[in-house]
Amino acid sequence: MLFIFSCSSYKTKNIGPVNTGYNYISPSHKTIIDVIVGKFPGVKIIGNNTGFGNTKVLIRGGSLSINNQAYAIFDVDGIIYTEPPMFIDPQKIRSITILKSLASVNKYGNIGRGGAIIIRLKK
């Protein structure tokens, strides 16, 4: 009796976005956090939505530990923010892309270890 087993594997380069674009932003959305909350899988909002430095964003798959949480950064048309950019008018957002930690570290370095939220505004 002869048994032949075969196995193959391949490496993918898909470390890209979790979710891209966003088709509808309700007029009731007043801040960027309102737009993000509940719309993107794996994204968790920590704190309240007042915009006074106490709101943080965690992306599942980011570099997290109990003692040292790495929060997401925001890339708004190429400008990097470590806090949610509450000054953005949600109605002017063209697209939102969520990057997990590996993809964002490749693009932004160590500051992106917690993931990145890339926001492109309408011109």
> How sure is the predictor about 8, in pLDDT bands with cuts at 50, 70 and 90?
very low
Better pLDDT: 49 or 70: 70
Give the whole-angstrom CA distance, residue 10 versus residue 100: 21
- Enumerate the domain spans of the chain: 17-121
Q: Mean pLDDT throughout 12-34?
A: 64
**The predicted structure's pLDDT at residue 70:** 86
User: Which of 25-29, 46-50, 79-83 has the highest average model confidence (pLDDT)?
Assistant: 79-83
The fold of the 17-121 domain, in CATH, is Ferric Hydroxamate Uptake Protein; Chain A, domain 1 (2.170.130)
Residue 52 reports pLDDT greater than 90: no
